[in-house]
Structure 1
Amino acid sequence: MSFKVPVGPAQIVIHGGQTILMSKLTGQIDYPSDKGLYFRDTRLLSAWAVYANGEPWDLLNGGAVSYDVARIFLINRAFATEDGAVPAQTLGLVLGRVIDGGMHEDLDITNYGLKPVRFNLEIALRCDFADIFEVEADHIVRRGHIGAR
């Protein structure tokens, strides 16, 4: 008699107390999705991405190293700067995440090239404060009003 062992989606999940963080293996949180930073029944962070001069990073390896800690190793794609091109795999980025009364994140960049590199490190965040039932139903209702003068 054989049986199937279901395997869930490729993701990283860490938690501490009533706080849970779910992300892709790259550490990114795409919107829309069910991933994000949750506290109790509310999603606080609904999107997270990091770029080097507009280019996303490629995954080397990573995952949860304990129930409340994740470490993700990324490498750059080739991109252009004011000082010239930066070849792929010149820069390494390590994301260290800890859930302990909130989310703490360290971003450590290492230059493996022979020359100094200047570039824009871009971190994009999005918060929707959606209820967990809205997320599960894939029906997020945007609330509030944004005004500018």
Structure 2
Amino acid sequence: MPQSNTVRILDGSTFVVSEDTGDIEATPSEPTGMFSLDTRFLSRWVLTINGERLNTLSYDDLQYYEARFFLVPGMATHYVDAKLSIVRKRAVGGSFHEQVTILNHDEKPVDLEVRMDVDSDFADLFQVKDEIVNKKGEKYAEAEADRLRLGYHRGNFRRETIISCSRTARYDRNGFAFTVHLEPNEQWSTEIDV
């Protein structure tokens, strides 16, 4: 993962620490994620378009509880006259909400595969701080028709992350995806709740 700035938003005991693209890829040395009640509920949250990671044009932490990320696909040399741009707007307030908007600036229609890869290690803050990566207990992921359920249990202790979208998505155990067709100068958007 290339070195990037981190962006933090918080509300009460819920906070998100991400890269400046809005992506989350937690590692022992990069303790990013969505945390609530001293537990990391998202340890992976990576947006791709046509299998490609996105690059940051800019980001803005609007308030302490919300941020926006302005992104483009491709290499840094494609920033000028980008044919697509992506805006991620997120907020926390007891839960996590993200809006993804894609704009087609081209004179031609475009077909896109928009995917969010997700995971949760359900690490507590002490495990994150102490860089403990092996957690006892069992993780599970269940793709349902209208949501993705990530879970962890150990004995009677249980935690779950439930992810749903405002648009119809294809859910699998590793995330969710959309097939998007955009006409010239058209935009597409979805709301994601965690």
Q: TM-score range with shorter-chain normalisation?
A: 0.7 to 0.9
Q: Give the TM-score, by structure 1 length.
A: 0.81
The aligned counterpart of 2:125 is 132
Q: Structure 1: how far apart are the matches of 2:26 and 2:50?
A: 21
**Could you tell me which of 89, 99, 120 is aligned with 1:106?**
99
Q: Structure 2: how far apart are the matches of 1:49 and 1:25?
A: 12
Q: CA deviation at 1:63?
A: 2.7
The aligned counterpart of 2:138 is 144
Cα RMSD, aligned residues only: 1.9
**Could you tell me which of 12, 21, 26 is aligned with 1:17?**
12
Q: Structure 2: how far apart are the matches of 1:10 and 1:62?
A: 10
Verify the 8 A CA contact 1:42 1:131 in the aligned structure 2. Answer: yes
Runs of 4+ in 1 over 6 A off after TM superposition: none
Q: What pairs up with 1:39-118 in 2 under 5 angstroms? A: 39-77=36-74, 89-118=82-111
The question of 1:31 aligning with 2:41 is answered no
Residue by residue, what CA displacement relative to the aligned partner does 1:35-78 show, whole Å, maximum 9, x if unpaired? 10000210100111111111111110003111001000001117
Q: Structure 2: how far apart are the matches of 1:106 and 1:77?
A: 21
Q: Structure 1: how far apart are the matches of 2:70 and 2:62?
A: 13
**C-alpha distance 45-53 of structure 1, shift in aligned 2 (>3 A):** same
Q: Structure 1: how far apart are the matches of 2:132 and 2:60?
A: 29
Gap runs ≥5 in structure 2? 76-80, 141-194
Q: Structure 2: how far apart are the matches of 1:116 and 1:34?
A: 39
**Highest CA radius of gyration, 1 or 2?**
1
Q: CA deviation at 1:18?
A: 0.9
> Match of 2:129, SS?
helix
How high is the sequence identity, in percent, across the aligned residues?
31
Instruction: Give aligned pairs, total.
Output: 130
Query: Amino acid of the residue matched to residue 10 of structure 1?
Result: N
Verify the 8 A CA contact 2:9 2:17 in the aligned structure 1. Answer: yes
Verify the 8 A CA contact 2:88 2:101 in the aligned structure 1. Answer: yes
Q: Structure 2: how far apart are the matches of 1:10 and 1:121?
A: 24
Verify the 8 A CA contact 1:25 1:63 in the aligned structure 2. Answer: no
Q: CA deviation at 1:145?
A: 6.0
Query: Amino acid of the residue matched to residue 65 of structure 2?
Result: D
